[in-house]
Amino acid sequence: MDRRSFLTTSALGGTAAAASTLAAPAYAAGKRVLTLVQSWPRGFAVLDDASTYYSKMIDEMSDGALTVDKKAPGELVGALEVFDAVSSGQADMYHSADYYFIGQHPGYAYFTSVPFGGTAQEFTNWYHHGGGQALHDELGEIFNLKGLITGNSGSQSGGWFRKEIKSADDFNGLKFRMPGLGGKVLGKLGASVQNIPGGELYQALSSGALDGLEWVGPFADERAGFQEVAKIY
């Protein structure tokens, strides 16, 4: 299958930020102000840290000619509305995980956390030297986007559960948050798969709206407090 067939019929693990090729930045005192919308609340471990660092690097590398006005979920658009906001020109760039947006195109599943896929280092090598960037660019052209990787979250965890999972059968009927290809696999096992933004997960798990979830890994998960409401990891 050639690249175009792959992208038109369908579209490794890392969190990607995509920048619009069409949105016109605002100007302030001769500087370009770029509006960045993100899927993470302010202060969210690892992911908000990454977008903050990325924004700082833009400012420093441009000697202040470019500055970033970062918007958390709800300040301009919702956490899962960032893709459409940039594609339409409402914002200049987003920081998110592309597997949230497989509804826009299934090909985006391959740019965040492929089950049993490569490590972050392997993904980065494929992206920069194995044709991944070209595929991402071709996919982005459909939506007026230019994709860039801005770091990674490391290997994803197995998840947090309110009850013990002893066999694959235990996923049947389980309300579980997991986006992307991993969620599709669990859906085949009968799970009721949810795509819920990170800032809403603690409440969903503690209230019973979710029976379990997969987020990032031990450090970010502990900072989010999931161990307080789910004892099985």
187 and 134 in a common domain:
no
Between residues 154 and 171, the one the model is more confident about: 171
- The residues, any chain, with a CB within 8 Å of residue 58's CB and separated by 6 or more, are 34, 66, 67, 68
**Is 80 exceeded by the pLDDT of residue 12?**
no
Residue 224 lies in a domain: yes
Q: 3-state DSSP call for residue 186?
A: helix
pLDDT-derived band of residue 21, with 50, 70 and 90 as boundaries?
very low
Q: What is the distance between the alpha carbons of residues 15 and 23, in angstroms, rounded to a whole number?
A: 22
Q: Are 210 and 201 in contact (CB under 8 A)?
A: yes
Is it the case that residue 230 has pLDDT exceeding 60? Answer: yes
Question: Residues with Cβ < 8 Å from 165, sequence gap 6 or more?
Answer: 171, 212, 232
pLDDT at 1: 42
Q: Structure pTM?
A: 0.87
Return the CATH number at 195.
Answer: 3.40.190.10
Specify which of 8-12, 22-26, 61-65, 147-151 reaches the highest per-range mean pLDDT.
Answer: 61-65
Query: 216 lies in a domain?
Result: yes
Which pLDDT score is estimated for 85? 98
Give the C-alpha separation, 68 to 121, whole Å.
Answer: 27
Q: What is the overall mean pLDDT for the chain?
A: 89
- For the chain, the domain total comes to 2
Burial of 1 (0-12, 13-18, 19+ CB in 10 A): exposed
Closest C-alpha among 17, 7, 6 to residue 47: 17
Same structural domain for residues 22 and 97? yes
* Same domain assignment for residues 34 and 85: yes
- Do both 44 and 104 map to the same domain? yes
Question: Does the residue 173 lie in any domain?
Answer: yes
Place of tokens 């669990």: 186
233 occurs within a structural domain? no
Predicted confidence at residue 155, as pLDDT, reads 82
Instruction: Answer whether residue 50 is part of any domain.
Output: yes
For residues 45 and 61, what is the distance between their CA atoms, to the nearest angstrom?
A: 24
Query: Are residues 129 and 37 part of one domain?
Result: yes
Domain that holds residue 175: 160-228
Among 124, 149, 174, where does a domain finish?
149
172 pLDDT tier (thresholds 50, 70, 90): very high
The pLDDT-based confidence of 152 (bands split at 50, 70, 90) is confident
Domain assignment present for residue 154? The answer is no
Task: Measure the CA angle with vertex 115, ends 176 and 150; round to 5°.
Answer: 95
pLDDT beyond 60 at 211: yes
pLDDT of residue 151: 85
